[in-house]
Amino acid sequence: MNALIKAATVIDSKSPHNGNVVDIRIKDGIITEIASTLTPSKNEKTITFDDLKVSSGWFDTSVSIGEPGYEERETIKNGLKVAALSGFTGIAVNPNTNPIIDTSADVAFMMHKSAGNATELFPIGALSRNSESVDLAELYDMQQSGAVAFGDYQKPVSNPNLLKIALQYTQGFDGLVLSFPQENDIAGKGQVNEGVMSTRIGLKGKPAIAESLQVARDLHILEYTGGKLHIPTISTKASVHLIADAKAKGLDVTSSAAIHNLFFTDDVLEDFNTNYKVTPPLRNQDDVEALIQGIKTGVIDFVTSDHNPLDVERKHVEFDNATYGTISQEATFGALLTLVSEKKAVKLLTQGRARFTNKEQSIVEGANANLTLFSIKGSYTFSESDIKSKSKNAAFLGAKLKGKVYGIVNNNQIILND
């Protein structure tokens, strides 16, 4: 693949071209020239867009894909296409398939099935066998097959000793442990955030302390054991403060927030729209403001789509019976751009790669062309025509978003939106 990207503003703090408008020549998937003006060659594709910005490829730290086992929700092939059209050149895929990804053979299947696509798939192996929080899964063997982290998706590590052992064991091979922030005994059968809205609409609530208590426990264990811990999709003000204190102590901890927990409050639940039924639940305004402050100050390291396709039978039911989850990947950049600057948005969408893969990308000559192309101009209302996923359970339907994703360049391929 040979291409020439014309008149693109580089947004990449690690690149010497950061902030400059440049042309970028790509030959056989490698950036060969970067200059203020380059002349197109006959054998290369010229890429031009209005208000074109280019950054290192975005990385999504929490994505669910149905395959294997739930192909009716999403396949690997289409899931990677959705990610590419949403601007992501790499996605960390959760183990909530059937069977659960808890062996090296499962990881090898995911790696083999996803090979050759423009967007790269990085499996997250289950932390415990069958994600039951009883026995550790074969972590080292999974890493050797390609797993980049270990966690039980949306299932807390109920056994604290299991987390302790995992953090100790993974230090031998620099493994990353994920721990979902929820104390199940306190969360109980809660459906939404416990507060004014849960009382008004008559749904059982999950109190914020169910999250912060688990976060506090996990951070105490991390302080004792050492190791690398990632706390995915936090949603409360207390969690932000706890993680800030842990970082001040020098603990090796990162955290993420899901884009829907940053964009919506639990006020949207008044109509019982099951697309807003997510876990952790949408919280109140104070929590959302604390999360936004957290991403601005760096306490929260990454913003994820927490993209979770679900078939219609799991959402078109009574709220109590609906499954937790929303598709958000197609809306992630547009929603994030309403909250922070384009430079901060790019940082939040790129720095997860180093944490999960131990590799960094930059826009420099000689590097692999791993790029996201986008614009920050304009606004639009997210509609069904913007959904690329097989499943349609989108919380962002009707939301006012900003900017536009043009596509990606990666793995010697170009994927562009129509």
Mean pLDDT of 144-163: 98
Residues 176 and 74 in one domain: yes
Average pLDDT, the chain: 97
Task: Work out the percent of the chain whose per-residue pLDDT is above 70.
Answer: 100
Residues 127 and 234 in one domain: yes
pLDDT of residue 71: 97
Residues 324 and 222 in one domain: yes
Under the banding of pLDDT at 50, 70 and 90, the label for residue 357 is: very high
Asked if pLDDT for residue 108 goes beyond 90, the answer is yes
Under the banding of pLDDT at 50, 70 and 90, the label for residue 200 is: very high
pLDDT of residue 96: 98
pLDDT of residue 68: 97
Neighbours of 250 (CB within 10 A): 8
Q: Which of 267, 306, 311, 320 is catalytic?
A: 306
Active site residue 306: yes
Residues 305 and 337 in one domain: yes
Domain end point (choices 309, 326, 357): 357
Domain end point (choices 357, 383, 404): 357
Residues 350 and 400 in one domain: no
Residues 221 and 184 in one domain: yes
Residues 298 and 335 in one domain: yes
Query: C-alpha angle with apex 64: 59 to 66, nearest 5 degrees?
Result: 135
Residues 142 and 289 in one domain: yes
Q: What Rg value do the Cα atoms of the chain yield, rounded?
A: 21
Mean pLDDT of 306-335: 97
The DSSP secondary-structure symbol of 315 reads T
At 235-292, the pLDDT tens digits run 999 999 999 999 999 999 999 999 999 999 999 999 999 999 999 999 999 999 999 9
Residues 117 and 258 in one domain: yes
Residues 349 and 377 in one domain: no
Residues 46 and 105 in one domain: no
pLDDT of residue 142: 98
Residues 27 and 63 in one domain: no
Mean pLDDT of 323-336: 98
* DSSP state string for 4-73: EEEEEEE--TTSTTTT-EEEEEEETTEEEEEES--PPPTTSEEE--TT-EEEEPEEEEEE---TTT-TTT
Preceding amide of 280 cis, omega within 30: yes
Range of the structural domain that residue 216 is part of: 58-357
pLDDT of residue 316: 95
| Pair 408, 89: CB distance under 8 Å | yes
Which residue in 328, 325, 202, 316 sits closest to 262, CA to CA?
Answer: 328
The DSSP secondary-structure symbol of 130 reads G
Q: Which two tokens stand for residue 255?
A: 């955290």
> In this structure, what CATH number is given to the domain that contains residue 385?
2.30.40.10
Domain end point (choices 323, 338, 357): 357
Counting the structural domains of the chain, the total is: 2
Which residue in 289, 298, 243 sits closest to 264, CA to CA?
Answer: 289
pLDDT of residue 418: 81
Mean pLDDT of 39-62: 96
Please, which residues have CB within 8 angstroms of residue 280's CB and are 6 or more apart in sequence?
181, 182, 206, 211, 233, 234, 235, 236, 258, 261
pLDDT of residue 315: 97
> In this structure, what CATH number is given to the domain that contains residue 127?
3.20.20.140
